[in-house]
């Protein structure tokens, strides 16, 4: 087995069945990695797959922000986030913040099932993949403590 990835799993209510079904289908792959989720999503996946899932708070109560913080602090490698394109969320700003931070830190991000299929079956899943910060020019360099 290649190197373990830390995978965040998040879904809005109407997308939870789809994500749980996808996770169940890919259980053999997911069990080789460390799983994280927002409160409700993480609980449902842990129950269905009978695998340990580290649970953050529920999304509307700060869970999306916790996942975003974990990405910023390099504690998460991959995000599978089935957000709902047909319904506004009370915590839309948090959803946007999470999607934004996933892009800033250039982590693999899948927001629908076909993208998640491509991601999870990638050869890179087993490799020691070094993400790099996207070159946003001086705008990001001045903010990065690594520079």
Ligand X SMILES: O=C(CO)COP(=O)(O)O
Q: What x-and-dash track marks residues 38-77 binding ligand X by CB under 6 A?
A: xxxx----------------xxx--xx-------------
Q: Closer to ligand X by CB, 10 or 46: give it.
A: 10
Active site residue 64: yes
Span of 26-34, 35-43, 119-127, 129-137 interacting with ligand X by CB under 6 A: 35-43
DSSP string of 31-45?
A: TTSEEEE-HHHHHHH
* Candidate list 13, 34, 64, 92, residue with the active-site label: 64
20: CB partners within 8 A, 6+ apart: 11, 44, 45, 48
Handedness of CA 124, 129, 84, 9 (dihedral sign): positive
Among 41, 44, 48, which residue's Cα sits nearest to residue 63? 41
Query: What Cα–Cα distance (Å) separates residue 117 from each residue in 26, 39, 111?
Result: 9, 23, 11
74 is in an annotated binding site: no
Does 41 belong to an annotated binding site? yes
* Cβ closest to ligand X, residue 15 vs residue 125: 15
Q: According to the annotation, is 39 in a ligand binding site?
A: yes
Distance of CA 103 to CAs 42, 44, 109, 114, Å?
A: 22, 26, 8, 19
Q: Are 24 and 47 in contact (CB under 8 A)?
A: no
Least distance from C-beta 43 to ligand X, angstroms?
8
Give the count of residues interacting with ligand X (CB under 6 A): 12
Residue nearest to ligand X (CB): 59
| Choice between 5 and 12, CB closer to ligand X | 12
Which residues are tagged catalytic?
64
Contact set with ligand X (CB under 6 A):
10, 12, 38-41, 58-60, 63-64, 95
């Amino acid at each position: 087995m290649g190197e373990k990835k830390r995978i965040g799993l998040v879904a809005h209510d109407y997308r939870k069945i789809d994500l749980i079904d996808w996770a169940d289908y890919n259980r053999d792959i997911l069990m080789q990695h460390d799983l994280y989720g927002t409160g409700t999503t993480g609980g449902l996946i842990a129950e269905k797959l009978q695998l340990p899932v580290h649970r953050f708070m529920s999304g509307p109560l700060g869970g999306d922000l916790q996942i975003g913080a974990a990405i910023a602090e390099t504690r998460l490698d991959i995000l599978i986030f089935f957000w709902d394109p047909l319904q506004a969320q009370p915590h839309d700003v948090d959803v946007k913040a999470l999607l934004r931070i996933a892009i800033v830190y250039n982590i693999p991000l899948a927001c629908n099932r076909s993208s998640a299929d491509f991601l999870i079956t990638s050869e890179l899943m087993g490799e020691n993949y070094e993400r790099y910060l996207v070159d946003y020019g001086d705008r990001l360099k001045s903010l990065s403590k690594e520079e």
